Every structure is written in structure tokens, then in C-alpha cells.
A and B are shown apart, each in its own frame.
Chain A
């Protein structure tokens, strides 16, 4: 009796406003995270890394003699201890214990101690000889040295040369954007124990328990059925715990296998920042052609991502970047080449948006720089280039529901009173020589689904007990995004029971196997489909009982009767997204189930003395389909937005790029030097509206994914800053403002100087 996936019953639990299912545990300090369990574990050993002080070096001779003599040190782990494969990744290019240091801070050995203090002192006592080698750090260095790794995709449509030749205006430029540290509040953590049978149980702060399980198994030389991975919950993930947790889980598991005792790995903030991957920085060169009305005719670009030392997820990240270089705009002729630089840095990885933000930033930066050169208002320029319904993306997927993009745009323009407020901004700017405001609108179109088709599947296990209570397991992990809350709502809806009859058990690989990463914003789409499937299977089996007992029979009665009728009261649910295909070589296909849309209008005020700025007001209309859980979705939109603002304005990763002894060291490796948005960066006014009449066919209860797309709404802030900077220029100048990313106060200050003295650049 499977119903259409998108059909939502009347008075459904989905769509209700629910706080996070663990909110009362969060606020009382009762919610347990991996390392909270470790503290409660008797006989615990603590692991501490030995981090290399070079960006690139050969490891000559690790000598653990003195370390082993350190009081409280139990064991030093190195490559010889690995019974299986000495590798922490899926591509076998990430040795767990390397003989070649590939980045500053690379762990070459781990020390187990009775206390963390003992392990720390033991790590200091491990003597390692290094033979330093030359290191490549920056993107320009890597490009000059042609230091690349992995695939070099090309996305192409139409005839770029001809279109450029026929374009009324052609501009070109270069742009480098910084990466971003995830700074999940909970650093990486793992706790491993071994049972009497040699079975390994690892609790890990991981977005991808199945892959953590596989890596632990291959490091230990075991099969997957000998390793169980559980993730209670994460203190934030944002993509940073999709690939990166596996090695730390493997260290804990290896230590536990070798000592027979529970082993805890918990990175300090400095270790986490110096050892784990970040958002990829990108470099772009571009040439763009417009017609006389400012319509995009052609784009030619080369995007080079900074992959760091190993591939990790750099290939799919680059692929998504290329697939989002159009953002929400129709570009008839396009050729974009992608490359992944190999540098001696941490291996950069997934981060909310997964390359999408970097690709989209390229076109948004182009439009922001070109609007003044075209003599067109940046808001008008963007509006007139939006996709129309039925047009295709450069990779050949039809842009369905493009009208929603226009509807969201017009709604923002209306509710934000854009026309009136832009007049006010102009008035303010005329009055204030030292402070300027800007107000700009930017769109988001973001494709939902894993580019890697196989990941678009999910499983769930739903138990109905004889007393009518319900327990659900699913393959997704909870990192704060509210997935578990939504799954409780989906289960209650599918089974038609009140939500307080449903409980959810932590994510474990022995409950639901072969799961995909909770990533790509797909958690609710995929696992929701699986939970709904399981619920409906059970409901179908209960149907004859319900008919026999009549309409007045309670759920509990039906369940009890069904048990005595020997009807199976539990079910495994499964879901796969239909209709997806992708040709990696041709960069063509239908990689996405649908697009999520959003539009933001941001007003900023910039201080001309210092370049500091504040966000005065933000209006957002965002498309989440028919929301499964509105409070959760609005939280995702607001949080994603501010994280995007952080990436674009404040968060400033700096490495030592000098030729001194510290070359390659991350200079911003602590909360005191790497600044994420605090309360003071909050917009003074924030108005978020969910787009109405937005049912998404073919997705669980008509909803849409929400995790990643809102991050890119933050382009509105960057572009508003650009407009405010331009207002410092002498009247009448054609002011194209080049703005660094991140647009820190210092970067803004220099841009103001350039605008005020030269009137900006003309190309």
C-alpha cells in the first residue's frame, strides 16, 4: 500500500513545529557525545599524536625508546603495528603511519598513556629524524610547478570562441578564494573497545559510520562484520566528519586490539585544526562575454582547487564546483576546466556545499565586478540572467521549477521593500562621507543528490513492540541538523501514531548496514524515504487486523492483536533515488533529483576608517519544499547563512609561506587566531521566510533538502559590502571593485582606498 512519496496525509506529524528531539538533553548537559562516554569508561587509555614539524620530509628513524620509558606510557603505535592495510582513506593514498611527512603537523606515530598527560609527555619523547624536502604551499606555487592530482574534468557547452567574438562586452580576470575551517565545536573523537571474541566496537564522531567501519576493518585486517561503529551524535560536522574521522577511529581500534583496553582518541583544537582537512580554497581565471543588455553569452574559466596532500573527496568536490559555476544563471556557451592542486597541507575535504559555494562564488564575483563596467545595477544584472523554466544547465539537466527562483526573488524584493530601502541607502551614502551602506540581492540554485550515484540509497529498521511503542533506526547520523527529529516525525506520520510513541536509537552499523554518508544535504530525503517505506510495510500488514477490529480499535489494540496473529511487527525499509545518472568523463547527465532555491537581500554598513562592517538586515526567502519540520529548517537556513558569512568575511586561514623553518605551519591554528562569527556578527535584523506552494514531487512528504543551500545566501553580504565600497569612490567613476575573499576588514579597507583614489579599476 505504498503511497506516492510526496503525498502528505492531512493533520500529519510532518510539518509540525518541533524543537530538536534532544533539546532538553542539550540544555541540561545530559546529551552524551563520544568523548563523554570515554570519560565514563574504566581502564581507559589516552592517545596522543607525534606531529611532524615539517611540511614535507622523509621520516628517517622514529625511535620510541625514551617514550616507552616515560612514566604512564603504555605503548607507542607505529607502522609495524598495523596488521592490515596502513591506510586511512578509501583511495589508499593516505598512510595512517607515513614514511613521508606530507604536511606540517602530520602524525607519524601515536602514544598510548594511562593519562593524557603521560601520553603527551611520551609523544614529546619520541625521537624522529626528518630529512626535509621542498614543500609546495600556495595555489600559485602549485600551478607554477604543475603539481596536480586526480581527474581534470572539463564542462563544456556550445561554442565559447564564437560567442565571445560576438559578445558586446568581454571581460577577464583572476580570483583566489580562501578555504574554511569547519570548527565544529566538538573536535574529532573516537573510543574503541574490544570484546571477548576480538570484536571491535568503535564509537566515533563520524558522518559516515559505514566507511569508518570499513577503514577500521582494513587497518586491522578484519572483515566488516567484526567491526561495529556507533555514532551517538556529533557536536557539529559540516562535512568535516565525512572522510576525516576514519583514521582516528582506526588509531583507537588498533590501540584497543593491541592492548585489550579501551582507547580514546580526542583531538585538541590545535591538533584538529593542524591535522584535519578543510574547505578547499580555489583559484580561478576567467573570461566572460555579455550582450548589449548585460545577458551572459559565454564563460570560459579554469578552476584550480587546493586539494592538500591527498585526494580525499577533492574529485567530487571539484565536480560539484564545476556543476555550480552557473549558480542560477543561464550561460549559453561555457567551457570550464577543473584541476586539483597537490600541496603540502592538510587534505582538504567536504564542507557544507561541497565545492558548490566555490563554483558559485566565481560567477557571483564576476557579476559583482562586471556590473559597474556594464553600467547595469548589480541587482538588475542578476535578475535578468536568471534561468527560465525548461532551460538546461551546462551539464544537460533541465532546470525544473525555475519559476520558483523568480517567485522567491520577487517576494524578497517586495517584503524587503528593496526599492525604498535602496533609495534610503543612497541618501545615507550622500550624507555620510565616512560610512557607506550597500543593499544587494543574490540567488541560490543548488543541486540535491550525491554526484556519486551509488550513495543515493538508504536503509531503516523500524520496530513496533507488543505494547505499541515504536523504535526506529536509520542510516543517517545526527550532527545538529535535526535529522533525527525529522525521522521521528516521518515515522509518526507513516505509522499514524503520535510522535511520543516513537523513539529513535543511535546510528549503528550493526542495525542498518551499508549506509551512505550523512552528507550532500540528503539525510532527510534518503533516510526519510527508508523510514517511510518501513512504516508503510508494517501498516500494510496491520491493515487486515484493523479492518477486522473496526474503526474504533486503538493502535495498541491493533498491535497486540497482530502479535497474537503472528504478524511481523518490524520491517527493514529501503530507499533509492530514482532517475539519476552521471557520466564523469563527459561531465553530463542528470546528477540531481531537484534543485533547491533561495534568495537573499542583505544590507551592510561599512566604516571607512577601518574597513569594519556590520550586517544591518537580511531578508531570505528559501525553498524547502513542504517543510518536514519548520523550526529545524529555519535553524538550518539561519545557521548556514551565518557560516557562509563567516567564510566570506571573517574566517582567514593563514599558513606560514615563508622560507623559514616554520614553512607550512598553519598560523591560525586556534580559536584565538582563527575567528568564526560570534554574536557580534549576527545581522541586526534577520527575516527568514519559507517559500510557499513549493511541494516537491518524488521526495518524502513533498519536502526538500536544506542543509547546504542556505550557506550560499551569504553571497548577498559580500556583494553588499562591494556596493558599499564602491560608494566611497568619487561620483561618476565607473567603479569596479575587486574584493578579496575573505573580505576581512583589512581587505575592505584596501578596497576602499583603491576605490577612493583610483575610482576602481576599468577593464
Chain B
């Protein structure tokens, strides 16, 4: 087997130097490529984006600045996607005799013990350090939610993060954020293609064995853990047609290739239900790569967006060479990891109809609060007025082969009294929804009990404090 006789990929910038991607084969991860360059700070801890030991920084288009240094799991990303891009690793942030502020705080406070997770923590922390608009002493813990440490118990790491000031005026990485990130230039090699527009993407995806890849947060796991080797990876993460977030009088449209981290900030609270989902969806590291289209495209029965989008009664916009069609998400999932999307179609966007329901909530049941996979996920979208339920839509994940709607409980609630006895009855019905399984995450009995509890919890929480409605329901433009 040849060791890569020239991949034909353009070079990438790593720590300020141009480095060749010639050795990158289609299955080579960004992590293995970086390590092959002798940059062994990034480590493989799990190969599935759970531990963050492989975290590195990539210059990505920003929401609040031209460029944002975005921490990603390099174990999941194909190396080829870095062609022409700008990457910084722990080695590039500082050296032992010239530590970066993040590195200095971590070192002096005992933030490292065995040191193996440390370069990844440093990169995730640095991404937060450089976040546009962040003030000194301010630190969003979610920035570290995708990094695991087995040694320290985390306190010194959190204290290091909390002690950080803001970058100096001459900090090269800080000033870099004012300049646009590298463009995503079209590329075509044997196993990888980056099309320039949607039409080219659809052409490429028609080739045998072609798969669309955005953040590669699912495909990367399949490749690493199950040896999945698609013939052609088509990178769609930077296609302008898939990157819009817009609204009309009747719906909000979310581009399929907008990452969840971007979406969280670009929506800026416009869809309260999604705001509840985002912090519970995997980890920041994953959300920096994962897209809304990807989460629906894999059609996992335990993906956390689908139940919420079902509750929001969203539609999926499918694009093909023949044009576009809009299909309701309800009915889109046809079987375990099966959907109504035809082979020549790509999810271009998701539409959420307006007005939004007033009472929404997302309940995720998992073993761990950060970065876990749901045993059960329940999304509610209700309108309650004058003691009656005007509308009730409930999306469920983890209780069937596909994400489903809790139609019977919805029917029982709709136009009924919003009172404890009705809620208890509907909760019992909700508890019988789907066909939950016994597995290593939870028993079927617990899953059913959690469905039931979720409605009780919603009702009792609502009684305690009614929620504010989204500004999108007001008439003026946001």
C-alpha cells in the first residue's frame, strides 16, 4: 500500500506555516495528519468526539467577528477539509519559555496532572479566550463541555479559565479575527471534493458512493469506529446556499450547513425551544461542527434536534437538480435511519412556521448533564390561554426507531383544560408512547416513566412561572 503519492490537495496553514496535505489519504483524519507532521500535542482519546483530547483551533467565518477561532474535534474531521484553511494547535499557542496566557493559568494552578487531555483543554479554552466580545473574568463553561479529564476533578481547570484576562492588543490570533477566514476553494481529488456551489454539490453527490459531509461529527465516528470508507466525501459545510438564516412573515428558515454553535448565536433567542436544546446537544466542540442538516440527515432516533423540530412543526427543504420540494418533518422519518429524502436530494434548509407556540420546553434525560446521548428526549410546544390548551405538539426521541410525535397525548390535551387531572391523564398516555427499548443507557420502564414525568414537570413548572414568548411572535421585525 503506498503511503499517499500526493493527494493533490492544496496546503494548509498550521501554526502560521504552510504544511503539505500530500500524505493525507481520504480516510486520514485531521488529527492523524497533524500528528504525522510531528505536532503530537493533539491526542486521540476516544476517536468519536467525546473526550476533546484532539481539540485544535480552526479559523472559521465568525458570527460576531470576521473570523472566529473555533475549537473542533480533529479526530472526526477528514484532513482534506483543512485544505487552504488556517489551523492552530497547542504547540502554536505558546512554548514552554513563552507560555500563552491560557497555558500559563493551566500550568500554575495544577490544571494538568497526566497532561494527556491538556493540549485539547488548552485549545478549547483558547477558543473561548478569543471569543469576540468576551470580557475579562467571563467564562462560558460550555466551552469545555466536550473535554474530559480523568485526573484533576476539573476545579483547577475551571479556575484557570475564570482567571483569564483579555488578549493584548498585539496578540496575533486576536487581530486575526478582524480579517476574513480563508475561503473554501473548490477542490477535487480521488476521495474528496469541495464543490463551489449547490449545483456542483448535487452533481458530485450523484456519483457512486458519494456522501455529503459537513462537520463530520457522525460520519467521522462511523469511519473511526466502524471502518466506514465512503468512495467520495463531498464537503458541503461552506456552500453559501446552505448557510443562510432568514425569516419571512410565515416562517424562519435555517440553512442546513449552519453549525449549531452558529445557529445558537444567529437566532439570538428567537426560538426559545431551540435555546433549550443547544446547551444540551452534545458539547460545544461537537456543536462547532455539527449542522442542523446533518443532524436530520443521519436520521438517528436519538438525535436531539429532531424532537424539537417536530414540536415546532418544521418542514424540510430538499434540493435536487430538478428543483426544490418542501416536506413536513412529521412523516419525513420512515424507518430506523431512513427518511423520505431521495438519493439525489440534499437537505438545503429547515423551516420553522410562525407564530411559535408560547409554552415550549425541551427535556433531555441522560446519565450526564454535558455531552451525553439522550435516553429520552421530549420537546413540547403548547399554547395555553384562559386555562385551556389551544395547541399541543410533542416531539419524542429515543422511544422508537425514529423520532416521533406523541399524537395521542397531543389529542388528549388539545382544547382540553390545562389542569392537574387532565395533565395526569395525558401524562399516563404519553408514558405509553412509542416502543422504548431496554439498553445500556436506560431501561424501557425508565424511558416510559420519563415520558410521563416530563409532562407533569412541564405543568408544575408552568404553574410556578409562566414563560415569556418569543419576540418573533410580535409584529415588528426582529
Contacts and interface: CB of A to CB of B under 8 A. Distances in A.
Interface of A: 19-20, 22-33, 36, 39-40, 71-72, 113-115, 117-118, 120, 124, 182-187, 233-238, 268-270, 434, 479-482, 609-610, 612, 614, 631-632, 634-635, 638-643, 650, 652, 654, 667-668, 670-673, 675-682, 686, 744-746, 749-750
Nearest to A631: B110
A634 B159 CA distance: 14
Contacts of B40: 29, 32-33, 36, 39-40
A654 B1 contact: no
Given A233-B115, A652-B440, A749-B449, A670 B144 contact: no
Q: Label chain B's interface by main secondary structure.
A: loop
Interface string B135-162: 0000001001101111111111110000
B94 A671 contact: no
Interface string B445-469: 0100110011011001000000000
Contacts of B268: none
Given A23-B107, A679-B141, A638 B152 contact: yes
Nearest to A235: B116
B112 A26 contact: yes
Contacts of A643: 150, 153
Which among A19, A120, A667 has the highest number of chain B CB atoms within 10 Å? A19
Interface centre among B45, B115, B375, B446 (most CB of A within 10 A): B115
Nearest to B1: A72
B370 A678 contact: yes
B115 A20 contact: yes
26 contacts: A23-B107, A23-B111, A25-B96, A27-B104, A28-B94, A28-B103, A28-B119, A32-B40, A39-B40, A40-B40, A186-B114, A233-B114, A235-B43, A269-B47, A434-B457, A609-B457, A612-B369, A635-B113, A650-B367, A654-B440, A668-B440, A670-B48, A676-B148, A679-B141, A682-B158, A686-B153
A745 B152 contact: no
B53 interface: yes
Contacts of A27: 90, 94, 99, 102-104, 106-107, 111-112, 115, 118-119, 122
A678 B148 contact: yes
Contacts of B150: 182-185, 236, 238, 639, 643, 676
Nearest to A667: B440
Nearest to B94: A28
B108 A19 contact: yes
A40 B38 contact: yes
Contacts of B439: 667
B68 interface: no
A488 B325 CA distance: 69
3 tightest A-B contacts by CB? A29-B41, A480-B114, A235-B116
Nearest to A433: B460
A28 B97 CA distance: 10
Interface of B: 1, 3, 25, 27, 35-36, 38-48, 50-51, 53, 89-91, 93-96, 99, 102-104, 106-119, 122, 141, 144-145, 147-158, 221, 224-225, 227, 365, 367-373, 375, 439-443, 446, 449-450, 453-454, 456-457, 460
A187 B116 CA distance: 10
Most chain A CB within a 10 A radius of its CB, from B103, B118, B147: B118
If over half of A's interface residues share one DSSP class (helix, strand or loop), that class is named, otherwise mixed; here it is loop
Contact of A236 (B3, B102, B103, B151): B151
B155 A638 contact: yes
A639 B107 CA distance: 16
Contacts of A670: 46, 48, 50, 225
Nearest to B144: A679
Contacts of B47: 268-270
Contact of A24 (B96, B149, B457): B96
B39 A29 contact: yes
Contact of A185 (B43, B95, B145, B158): B43
Contacts of B224: 268
B298 to A, nearest CB: 14
A524 B39 CA distance: 33
A146 B112 CA distance: 45
A43 to B, nearest CB: 12
Contacts of A639: 113, 150-153
B116 A185 contact: yes
B443 A481 contact: no
A391 B155 CA distance: 38
B446 A749 contact: yes
A577 B457 CA distance: 59
Given A28-B41, A238-B150, A610 B453 contact: yes
Given A32-B40, A679-B141, A480 B115 contact: yes
Nearest to B146: A678
B115 A609 contact: no
A182 B150 CA distance: 9
Contacts of A117: 1, 25, 27
Given A23-B108, A234-B114, A635 B373 contact: no
B99 to A, nearest CB: 6
Contacts of A29: 39-42, 89-91, 118-119, 122
B42 A480 contact: no
A185 B93 contact: no
Contacts of B221: 672
Contacts of B118: 26-27, 29, 31
A27 B108 CA distance: 10
B99 A28 contact: yes
A613 to B, nearest CB: 10
Nearest to A39: B35
Given A24-B107, A27-B99, A481-B113, A680 B42 contact: no
Contacts of B42: 29
A709 to B, nearest CB: 15
B421 to A, nearest CB: 18
A668 B440 CA distance: 7
Given A269-B46, A609-B453, A671-B51, A745 B155 contact: no
